[in-house]
Amino acid sequence: MSNWRRLEDEAAMLAFGASLAQRFPSGGLITLHGDLGAGKTTLTRGLLRELGHTGNVKSPTYTLVEPYHLQGRDIYHFDLYRLGDPEELEFMGMRDYLRPDALCLVEWPEKAGGWLPEPDLRVHLRHCGAAREVFLE
């Protein structure tokens, strides 16, 4: 049985994202699983804000990746929803993003086919009424 934890509102999702920032003091790969509106981008915003990002966080729906440089580290936020073919990842230089010192957060990792390595952490998100639930793997 999975251990789902309830996140009551957006503030709770932001706080949860912030807590992940401490778990990853250097690089890593975090995949974010869940339907549209499950809170993947909100969680990412919480993490980025914790590291000092003050601007808005746009969904990289068309660009596929949005780079950030915070506290001396490179953080890459991916949204692969519109990825047509996993092979495109090769052309966009995915290999370079996945270096050990960079922190990568990937929405819709399923779209990458077998192209992503095993993540350090899988975050599963789902709707639960008006709230959300999270499960870490």
Ligand X SMILES: Nc1ncnc2c1ncn2[C@@H]1O[C@H](COP(=O)(O)OP(=O)(O)O)[C@@H](O)[C@H]1O
Does position 9 bind ligand X by CB under 6 A?
yes
3-state secondary structure of 41: helix
The correct pick among 122, 131, 135, 136 for binding ligand X (CB under 6 A) is 131
- The answer to whether 55 touches 46, Cβ cutoff 8 Å, is no
Kindly indicate which of the ranges 1-9, 21-29, 36-44, 63-71 contains the residues binding Mg ion, using the contact rule CB under 5 A.
36-44
CB 136 within 8 A of CB 121: yes
Q: Is 42 in the site for Mg ion (CB under 5 A)?
A: no
Among 17, 29, 31, 40, binds ligand X (CB under 6 A): 40
Q: Which two tokens stand for residue 105?
A: 């957060």
Partner from ligand X, Mg ion, none contacting 80, C-beta within 5 to 8 A by type: none
User: H-type helices in the chain, by residue range?
Assistant: 10-23, 40-50, 88-91, 94-97
**Candidate segments 2-10, 17-25, 57-65, 121-129, binder of Mg ion by CB under 5 A:** 57-65
